[in-house]
Amino acid sequence: MTRSTVRCGIAVTALLAVGEGRLGAQFPAGGPYSQADIQVGARVFASQCVVCHGATGNLVAGVDLRSGRFNRASNDGELMQIVMEGVKGTAMPAFTFTPAELTGVIAYLRNMRDFNAGAAALGNPERGRTIFEGSGRCATCHRVNGKGPRLAPDLSRVGSLRTADMIERAVVAPSSALNFENRSVRAVMRDGKTIAGRRLNEDTYTVQIIDEQEYLVSLTKADLREYTVIEKPSMPAYKGTLSSQDISDVVAYLLTLRGQR
Q: Which residues bind ligand HEC (CB under 6 A)?
A: 48-49, 51-53, 60, 63, 70-73, 79, 82-83, 87, 90-93, 95, 105, 132, 136-138, 140-142, 152-153, 158, 162, 167, 170-171, 174, 178-179, 182, 184, 233-236, 238, 250, 254
User: Smaller CB distance to ligand HEC: residue 156 or 219?
Assistant: 156
Q: What's the closest the beta carbon of residue 16 comes to ligand HEC, in angstroms?
A: 17
The sheet with strand 184-189 has its strands ordered as 216-220, 206-211, 194-202, 184-189, 224-230
Q: What's the closest the beta carbon of residue 172 comes to ligand HEC, in angstroms?
A: 10
User: Smaller CB distance to ligand HEC: residue 112 or 219?
Assistant: 112
Q: Give 153: exposed, middle or buried? Use CB within 10 Å, 0-12, 13-18, 19+.
A: buried
Nearest to 12 by CA among 74, 80, 87, 79: 80
Q: What's the closest the beta carbon of residue 128 comes to ligand HEC, in angstroms?
A: 8
User: Smaller CB distance to ligand HEC: residue 176 or 190?
Assistant: 176
Q: What's the closest the beta carbon of residue 1 comes to ligand HEC, in angstroms?
A: 16
Strand partners of residue 218: 208
Q: What's the closest the beta carbon of residue 192 comes to ligand HEC, in angstroms?
A: 26
Q: Whole-angstrom Cα distance, residue 80 to residue 107?
A: 10
User: Smaller CB distance to ligand HEC: residue 152 or 200?
Assistant: 152
Provide, for the chain, the percentages of residues in helix, strand and coil under a 3-state DSSP scheme, each rounded to the nearest 5.
Answer: 45, 15, 45
Nearest to 228 by CA among 170, 188, 175: 188
User: Smaller CB distance to ligand HEC: residue 190 or 239?
Assistant: 239
Residue type, 73: A
